[in-house]
């Protein structure tokens, strides 16, 4: 048992050192702090009005809920996986409140020397219940990546933010495949009617064909439930009327590796 304990401790220390090395090579926390961060050389992934709109939306959400969603655009992942980069960045910057670990990192890499276009949504410890990996993946694949592929980066970010805000409040619904209800054809209906008539006649005649004691009667056709209204309803929840002051800074949240990623 002692050997197993030492091995676990050794693996933990190795992982801790590796995480520290990753964090050391990542960009420093922005000063002044912002929730939308374009760290590319040109810093023109979005127009200034678009970037300002997203910043106001995210600051307003932070002010009202304390949940911090940070968008980070980089050129290269510096050889790391999107999961490693986004998770380590969330820890290094301390995105989310320390008491709640309620931060989210929406990471986009534009390619750079890696020639890879990655997208990743990293979820802080405290939000993994509200936004599990399956939900993060649905938001990534349905709301973010399609717009990125079309070159409509602002729309992708806006849709992803709206979805994450809804998910954090338990309002984002995953679409489910509708199950087909069994069809009852004319021959089946005729057969059912015949069985009912035979049962009635046999009951009157002493039950020579069907035993009356075990008969429970007809309960109807067992129709299976229909689908799920998975409409995400992208209403004007993040309209342009957000006021308030600037972002007050990150709160020291932590991340454990939850989230989902993909290519665009």
Asked if residue 181 belongs to a domain, the reply is: no
Number of domains in the chain: 1
User: Percent helix, strand and coil across the chain, each rounded to 5?
Assistant: 45, 15, 45
Asked if residue 56 belongs to a domain, the reply is: yes
Mean pLDDT of 25-40: 96
Asked if residue 101 belongs to a domain, the reply is: yes
Q: What is the pLDDT of residue 4?
A: 54
Asked if residue 94 belongs to a domain, the reply is: yes
Measured between alpha carbons, how far is residue 85 from residues 64, 71, 72 in Å? 28, 13, 11
Q: Identify the domain containing residue 40 by its residue range.
A: 34-174+246-263
Predicted confidence (pLDDT) at residue 231 exceeds the cutoff of 50: no
Asked if residue 66 belongs to a domain, the reply is: yes
Q: What is the pLDDT of residue 116?
A: 83
Strands (E), the chain: 36-38, 68-74, 103-109, 118-124, 255-263
Structure tokens, 238: 């993040």
Question: What is the CATH classification number for the domain harbouring 41?
Answer: 3.10.310.50
Strand partners, 263: 118
Is the model's pTM score more than 0.75? no
SS3 (DSSP) at 97: strand
**pLDDT digit string (tens) for 236-252?**
333 333 334 588 899 88
Asked if residue 227 belongs to a domain, the reply is: no
- Measured between its terminal Cα atoms, the distance across the chain in Å is 47
Predicted confidence (pLDDT) at residue 183 exceeds the cutoff of 60: no
Q: What is the pLDDT of residue 101?
A: 96
Residue owning tokens 């995953």: 174
Mean pLDDT of 138-146: 98
Asked if residue 195 belongs to a domain, the reply is: no
Strand partners, 258: 123
Q: How far apart are CA 69 and CA 135, in angstroms?
A: 15
Asked if residue 229 belongs to a domain, the reply is: no
Q: What is the pLDDT of residue 240?
A: 36
């Amino acid at each position: 048992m002692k050997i197993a304990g030492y091995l676990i401790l050794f693996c933990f220390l190795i992982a801790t050192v590796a995480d520290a090395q990753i964090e050391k090579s990542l960009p420093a926390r922005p000063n002044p702090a912002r929730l939308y961060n374009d760290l590319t050389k040109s810093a023109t992934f979005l127009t200034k009005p678009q970037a300002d709109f997203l910043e106001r939306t995210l600051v307003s959400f932070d002010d009202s809920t304390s949940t911090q969603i940070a968008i980070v655009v980089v050129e290269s992942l510096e050889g790391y996986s999107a999961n490693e980069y986004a998770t380590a960045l969330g820890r290094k910057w301390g995105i989310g409140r320390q008491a709640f670990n309620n931060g989210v990192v929406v990471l986009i890499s534009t390619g750079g020397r890696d020639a890879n276009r990655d997208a990743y949504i990293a979820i802080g410890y405290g939000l993994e219940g509200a936004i599990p990996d399956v939900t993060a993946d649905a938001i990534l694949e349905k709301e973010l990546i399609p717009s990125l592929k079309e070159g409509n980066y602002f729309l992708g970010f806006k849709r992803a933010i709206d979805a994450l805000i809804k998910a954090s409040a338990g309002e984002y619904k995953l679409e489910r495949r509708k199950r087909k209800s069994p069809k009852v054809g004319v021959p089946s209906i005729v057969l059912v009617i015949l069985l009912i008539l035979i049962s009635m006649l046999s009951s009157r005649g002493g039950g020579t064909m069907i035993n009356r004691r075990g008969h429970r009667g007809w309960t109807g056709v067992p129709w299976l439930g229909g689908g799920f209204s998975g409409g995400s309803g992208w209403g004007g929840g993040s309209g342009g009327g957000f006021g308030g002051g600037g972002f007050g800074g990150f709160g020291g949240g932590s991340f454990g590796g939850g989230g989902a990623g993909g290519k665009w």
